[in-house]
């Protein structure tokens, strides 16, 4: 898998993933007034964002032909 996620994109994904994960935990703990269904949705979104941010590879970017990584890693 070649990287197709650039440095800024990685930072944004990791930050949003962390926030989504914390909100998911807050919903499960009852600290946030959101529907209980929001917890697994936010949790899954957090996992996807964190994995793509940490690995530097996004499958959707590959399908769409997008690449935000300025360095050719081939």
Closest CA to 20 of 39, 1, 37: 39
Give the global pTM. 0.89
Element (H, E) at 61: helix 59-64
* Helix residue ranges, H only, 3-37: 7-29
* pLDDT at residue 74 in the model: 53
Contacts of residue 69, defined as CB under 8 A and 6 or more positions apart, other chains included, come to: 3, 4, 5, 6, 9, 56
* pLDDT at residue 72 in the model: 61
pLDDT tops 80 at residue 73: no
pLDDT digits (tens, 9 = 90+) for 1-49: 889 999 999 999 999 999 999 999 999 999 999 999 999 999 999 999 9
Domain chopping of the chain, boundaries: 7-64
């Amino acid at each position: 898998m070649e990287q197709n996620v650039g440095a800024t994109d990685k930072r944004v994904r990791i930050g949003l993933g962390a926030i989504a994960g914390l909100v998911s935990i807050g919903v499960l703990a009852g600290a946030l007034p959101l529907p209980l269904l929001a917890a697994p949705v936010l949790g899954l979104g957090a996992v996807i964002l964190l994995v793509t941010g940490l690995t530097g590879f996004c499958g959707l970017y590959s399908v769409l032909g997008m690449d935000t990584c300025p360095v050719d890693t081939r």
